[in-house]
């Protein structure tokens, strides 16, 4: 508990003890009926002021600022009028139980905020700066791009950069939700937020602190609470008109029947019950807590949702459009097949291609050399010639070898028949004879198929958008079981496709990771960026950020959003139904003050507890 919560609990307990003592004393004291009313009032005023001074202060301060109609005003009005008509026990009881509800609310808000505010621990106060051989402790904001910093065991990496000294393991659970340590070594890029587990490392920073991964995440988290859902906005507007309406209703209930019957005490008492019941605490508090709990539950899974409005919209998603490269696939090339012909074997084809490509830094060339996996004997390579956009020609051990695409083979007059394989094909020829080809493909991520399957089980249609060739797109879509695909798309084409998918009945989400995805991320109902390590533009444009590259977490986010939305509707329905029933019963004189207190405080506590269920939900069921 916080200090303010402990103080409130102390006041509640003290009030309860004094309230019980005064009530029992007036029941058992033989001469109680001879005690003057002002003495009884003073006895009850002590516990009343102990527990209610905060409400009284807030109400008076709000009235002074012109903000009259809120729950504090309702509580003050109800209890003061109860005192005037000498219903002292009921006045104290209403304030006591209201404060009990407030305490429950405070604890609930603290827990729901705690699941997100734990991210604030990622922000370092100081950094170990290495300069001229000395180590000095400086503020994180004073670190600049290119500075050398030291991160000791147990410390968090404060700023993104490259390791220039040391090897270690990092715990990145706070960023990605993944608890398995990641091994890093000299030359590796590291992002801020990870905890150094095993050995001291030194890092050369590649950005200012304000541009680091942690700083961007904290900025997104701080902005999230300002973006209300439609449900929250509705409740805020509802309470703005609802509160003055019930005050007028209570006033009319007190005055009109009293003028007709002359029974002022009876109808004022009913009006008080009406006031206590009408307090909109359960709605005003439980709905934001439910959404905040949902955002907190998502953050535990490594999913950052930028506001409750996006959490609500996510629950309405029925179509997910997915970029291929970097989202469904790893975005890195790998040799997936080697074909040999004319008496050569696969090793020969791979060897000749690797020797031809050994001098190139092109991703395709690098993937071929990596697949060969043996040391290149440069003494065997002569007369390397690169044909721009076509391939490479070289003498390998005295043999003229060609490695390239269809255009190179055509230029060299070499034919290659057979069915064209799926993926990027590097043809290889030696001494004017075609000897085979190497197929290079972008690897599908291990969890992509699982994610697509979970989307289908949740009733969500999947559409893949890619700039790749038709054959490659079709193969990936069939492999993963994607419902539809669109190939050979430019960034503007992706926007057009997403626009064609939009409708008024449901929401369309787009998932991407590159800077070219920023326009379509903005255009979709829900833009989702893959990975905190992705493009800054994509992360800024997105409404939801997956803190790692695991697409399978997105279906969990959808389930969390739907669970949160169900709980919000449950709370709204329950609170309004109970209040409407007790308001009618109170106006008819059937419901007493204790039932009125339950309809206010009791319903608030139950709605808050129900809303807190979102925190414990992980989206797996």
Helices (H), 163-229: 173-176, 213-224
- For residues 181 and 30, what is the distance between their CA atoms, to the nearest angstrom? 74
The neighbour count for residue 282, using CB atoms within 10 Å, is 29
Q: Are 305 and 556 in contact (CB under 8 A)?
A: no
Angle made by CA atoms 375, 379, 381, in degrees to the nearest 5: 90
* Structure token digits, residue 81: 């009028």
- Residues in CB range of 343: below 8 A, 6 or more apart: none
Which is catalytic among the residues 11, 70, 160, 323?
323
Q: Is 323 annotated in the active site?
A: yes
Phi/psi for 485 (5° steps) reads -145, 150
Handedness of CA 3, 223, 609, 61 (dihedral sign): positive
Q: Are 591 and 585 in contact (CB under 8 A)?
A: yes
Angle made by CA atoms 19, 23, 26, in degrees to the nearest 5: 140
- For residues 441 and 610, what is the distance between their CA atoms, to the nearest angstrom? 49
- For residues 45 and 36, what is the distance between their CA atoms, to the nearest angstrom? 14
- For residues 478 and 486, what is the distance between their CA atoms, to the nearest angstrom? 13
Listed as own residue / partner, the contacts of 231-238 with beta carbons closer than 8 Å and 24 or more positions apart are 231/287, 231/291, 231/312, 231/565, 231/568, 231/572, 232/287, 232/288, 232/291, 232/308, 235/280, 235/283, 235/284, 235/287, 235/572, 236/284, 238/280, 238/283
Bridging pattern class, strands 317-323 and 461-465? parallel
The neighbour count for residue 374, using CB atoms within 10 Å, is 10
514: left (phi over 0), alpha (psi -120 to 50) or beta: beta
- Strand extents, DSSP E, 132-214: 134-139, 148-151, 161-165, 168-171, 182-184, 189-190, 195-196, 201-205
Element (H, E) at 21: helix 3-28
Handedness of CA 539, 544, 545, 548 (dihedral sign): negative
Q: Which residue has the tokens 């539950």?
A: 297
- For residues 137 and 534, what is the distance between their CA atoms, to the nearest angstrom? 30
Secondary structure, 3-state, 224-285: HCCCCCHHHHHHHHHHHHHHHHHHHHHHHHHHHHHHHHCCHHHHHHHHHHHHHHHCCHHHHH
Residue 437 β-bridge partners: 339, 427
Among all residues, which ones are annotated catalytic?
323
């Amino acid at each position: 508990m916080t200090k303010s919560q402990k103080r409130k609990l102390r006041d509640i307990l003290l009030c309860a003890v004094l309230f019980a003592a005064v009530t029992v004393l007036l029941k058992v004291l033989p001469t109680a009926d001879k005690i003057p009313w002002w003495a009884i009032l003073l006895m009850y005023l002590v516990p009343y002021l102990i527990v209610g001074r905060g409400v009284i202060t807030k109400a008076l301060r709000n009235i002074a600022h012109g903000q009259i109609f809120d729950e504090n005003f309702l509580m003050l009005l109800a209890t003061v009028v109860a005192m005037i008509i000498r219903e002292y026990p009921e006045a104290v009881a209403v304030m006591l139980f209201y404060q009990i509800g407030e305490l429950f609310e405070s604890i609930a808000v603290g827990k729901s905020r705690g699941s997100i505010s734990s991210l604030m621990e990622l922000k370092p106060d100081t950094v170990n700066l290495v300069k001229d051989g000395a180590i000095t402790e400086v503020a994180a904001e004073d670190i600049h791009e290119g500075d050398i910093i030291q991160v000791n065991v147990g410390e968090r990496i404060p700023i993104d950069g490259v390791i220039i000294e040391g090897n270690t393991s990092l715990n990145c659970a706070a960023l990605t939700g993944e608890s398995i340590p990641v091994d890093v070594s000299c030359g590796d890029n590291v992002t801020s937020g990870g905890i150094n587990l095993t050995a001291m490392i030194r890092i050369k920073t590649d950005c200012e602190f304000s541009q680091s991964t942690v700083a961007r995440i904290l900025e997104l988290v701080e902005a999230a609470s300002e973006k209300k859902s439609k449900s929250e906005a509705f409740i805020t507007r509802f309470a703005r008109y609802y509160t003055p309406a019930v005050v007028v209703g209570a006033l009319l209930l007190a005055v009109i029947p009293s003028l007709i019957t002359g029974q002022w005490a009876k109808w004022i008492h009913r009006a008080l019950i009406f006031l206590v019941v009408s307090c909109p605490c359960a709605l005003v508090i439980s709905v934001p807590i439910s959404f905040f709990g949902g955002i907190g539950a998502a953050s535990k899974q490594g999913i950052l949702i930028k506001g409750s409005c996006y959490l609500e919209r996510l629950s309405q998603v029925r179509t997910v459009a997915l970029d291929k490269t970097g989202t469904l696939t790893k975005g890195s090339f790998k040799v997936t097949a080697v074909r040999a012909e004319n008496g050569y074997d696969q090793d020969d084809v791979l060897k000749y291609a690797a020797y031809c490509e050994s001098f190139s830094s092109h991703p395709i060339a690098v993937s071929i050399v990596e697949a060969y996996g043996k040391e290149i004997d440069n003494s065997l390579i002569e007369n390397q010639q690169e044909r721009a956009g076509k391939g490479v020609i070289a003498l390998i051990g005295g043999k003229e070898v060609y490695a390239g695409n269809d255009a190179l083979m055509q230029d060299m007059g070499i034919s290659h028949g057979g069915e064209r394989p799926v993926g990027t094909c590097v043809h290889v020829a030696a001494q004017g004879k075609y000897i085979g080809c190497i197929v290079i493909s972008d690897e599908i991520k291990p969890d992509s198929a699982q994610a697509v399957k979970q989307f289908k089980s949740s009733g969500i249609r999947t559409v893949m958008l890619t700039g790749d060739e038709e054959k490659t797109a079709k193969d990936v879509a069939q492999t993963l079981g994607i419902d539809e695909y669109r190939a050979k798309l430019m960034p503007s084409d992706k926007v057009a496709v997403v626009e064609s998918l939009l409708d008024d009945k449901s929401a369309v989400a787009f998932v991407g990771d590159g800077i070219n995805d920023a326009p379509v991320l903005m255009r979709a109902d829900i833009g989702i960026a893959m990975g905190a390590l992705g493009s800054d533009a994509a992360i800024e444009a997105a409404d939801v950020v997956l803190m790692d590259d695991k697409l399978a977490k997105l279906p969990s986010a959808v389930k969390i959003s739907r669970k949160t939305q169900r709980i919000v509707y449950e709370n709204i329905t329950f609170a309004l139904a109970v209040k409407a029933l007790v308001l009618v019963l109170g106006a008819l004189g059937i419901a007493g003050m204790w039932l009125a207190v339950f309809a206010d405080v009791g319903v608030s506590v139950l709605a808050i507890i129900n809303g807190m269920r979102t925190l414990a939900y992980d989206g797996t069921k």
